[in-house]
């Protein structure tokens, strides 16, 4: 079985309807560790060596966060800047993350249509997150399509539950190696694995 580490960053988790459900179902999946960095490092004093050990102990890394100004919340950016050190995560000697899989799980207040060429944001989320993908490549990791929850402000509870149920299926499928790399990379969003 593969082991998954969710590096979770939400500065207002208590207010989030979506991430509460996603984290709740993730907690039900065997071999998934949730690393809530805002809970651990509210003072931004990141224990770099501890975080590196967590990464080393897992096969699949998920950066789970709301979409903040087309990126991630500030503590996650700080985490990436500090933890993914040269000589450990990248560079000639930096091979600690080589071969691991990485993707983002993102919530967005904007609808799917808002993230289209014709929409408000002019770009899709896939087109806006290449820095995450390039970070994975630099660290010799395999970057997968994201799992996205769009339109969070307007979702009904049953719609959020459906996203959460699919997230649980995704995590279970990843830990139990039910998906090939080809299955995953052939999707625009990982959500598409569960569309009818």
How many structural domains does the chain have? 1
- Predicted local distance difference test score (pLDDT) of residue 158: 95
pTM (2 d.p.): 0.96
Contact 8, 36 (CB under 8 A): yes
Task: Please say whether the beta carbons of 7 and 62 come within 8 A.
Answer: yes
In this prediction, residue 82 has a pLDDT band, given cuts at 50, 70 and 90, of: very high
Task: Output the pLDDT for position 49.
Answer: 98
Residue 122: CB atoms within 10 Å: 12
* Direct distance between the N- and C-terminal alpha carbons of the chain, in angstroms, rounded to an integer: 27
Q: pLDDT tens across 111-148, in order?
A: 899 998 998 999 999 999 999 999 999 999 999 999 99
H-helix or E-strand spanning residue 138: helix 130-138
What is the average pLDDT score of the chain?
96
Domain that holds residue 177: 4-194
pLDDT (0 to 100) of residue 125: 94
Confidence class for position 196, pLDDT limits 50, 70, 90: low
144 φ/ψ angles, rounded to the nearest 5 degrees: -105, 160
Region 147-175 average pLDDT:
96
What proportion of the chain, given as a percentage, has pLDDT over 70? 99
Report the CATH number that the domain containing residue 161 is assigned in CATH. 3.40.50.360
Average pLDDT rounded to a whole number, residues 158-166:
96
Task: Enter the tokens of residue 6.
Answer: 């969710």
pLDDT at 93: 94
Average pLDDT over residues 180-184: 94
Cβ-based neighbours of 162, under 8 Å, separated by 6 or more: none
């Amino acid at each position: 079985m593969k082991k998954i580490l969710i590096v979770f960053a939400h500065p207002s988790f208590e207010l989030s309807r979506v991430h509460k459900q996603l984290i709740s179902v993730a907690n039900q999946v065997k071999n998934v560790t949730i690393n809530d960095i805002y809970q651990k490092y509210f003072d931004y004093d990141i224990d770099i060596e501890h975080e590196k050990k967590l990464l080393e102990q897992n096969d699949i890394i998920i950066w789970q966060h709301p979409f903040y100004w087309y990126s991630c919340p500030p503590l996650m950016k700080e985490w990436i800047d500090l933890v993914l050190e040269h000589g450990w995560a990248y560079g000639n000697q930096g091979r600690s993350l080589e071969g691991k899989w990485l993707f983002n799980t993102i919530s967005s207040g904007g609808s799917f249509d808002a993230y289209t060429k014709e929409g408000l944001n002019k770009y899709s989320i896939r087109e806006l997150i290449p820095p995450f993908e390039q970070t994975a490549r630099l660290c010799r990791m395999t970057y997968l399509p994201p799992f996205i929850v769009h339109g969070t402000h307007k979702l009904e509870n049953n719609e959020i539950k459906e996203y959460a149920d699919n997230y649980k299926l995704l995590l279970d499928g990843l830990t139990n190696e039910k998906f090939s790399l080809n299955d995953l990379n052939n999707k625009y969003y990982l959500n598409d694995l569960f569309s009818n």
